[in-house]
Structure formats: structure tokens, C-alpha cells
Amino acid sequence: MTERTKRKTPESEDRRMLDEMLEMANALDAHGLITKPDMMQIRGLCQKPPVFTPKKVVQIRKGKANMSQSVFAALLNVSVSTVQKWEAPDSGKHPSGAAAKLLQVIERKGVEAIAV
């Protein structure tokens, strides 16, 4: 393998496939061949997950949720130290996966959308 040859990672292949799937769904939607609920579901599955900066996490926790770090951590089912790392500008850690999705829901609809 030469220096110029890029290796495809599983993540880049997954991203490419999701981008192509979304492109196909958009084409079907443009011709009225896919239902609105199906299109919404496909968009939700194919969109790139949001990246939450430390500032954004603090803004969501204090502004939208109005919670302490410990209560917020319990709501998201993560440790307090995890929330602290997300909020620390120099940690390099940020929410991903389910936690990022929950933060996205809280940001859009408020904490009431996930609180039981």
C-alpha cells in the first residue's frame, strides 16, 4: 500500500452507505413514492449525529434542563465524571451515541420529553 492510498475504515464505509441511502430516500420522496413517516424515520437514522461542544452541553444542562451535574448525569444514565468531562473544554471528550441523541431531544423539546 502506498502513502497516497487511503484505507477505508468501517466508519467511512458506513457513513458512505448512509449518505447514499438518504440520497435515494430523498429522490423517492421527491416523486411521492415514500410516506412522510418513513421519510422522517430514514432521515433520523441517516443524519450525522450532532457534535456537542463543552459550551453546548453546559447550555443544555443549565438552560434547558436547569439541573445540577449529578441530577443531569442520573437522567442520562451516565456518571457525574462523564458529564464533567463533557463540560471541560480541555478534556477532548464529548457525548456520543445514545447520550448525544438524548441531549438532542432535550435541546429540541426540553427535559420533559425524556423525564419519566
Least Cα distance to 103 among 76, 66, 71 occurs for: 76
**Cα end-to-end distance, the chain, whole Å:** 53
Per-residue pLDDT reduced to its tens digit, 16-73: 999 999 999 999 999 999 999 999 999 888 887 789 999 999 999 999 999 999 999 9
Name the band, by pLDDT with cuts 50, 70 and 90, for residue 2: low
Classified as helix, coil or strand, 59 is: helix
102, 50 contact by CB (below 8 A)? no
pTM across the whole model: 0.67
- For residues 31 and 109, give the distance between their C-alpha atoms in angstroms, rounded to a whole number: 31
Q: What percent of the chain has pLDDT over 70?
A: 92
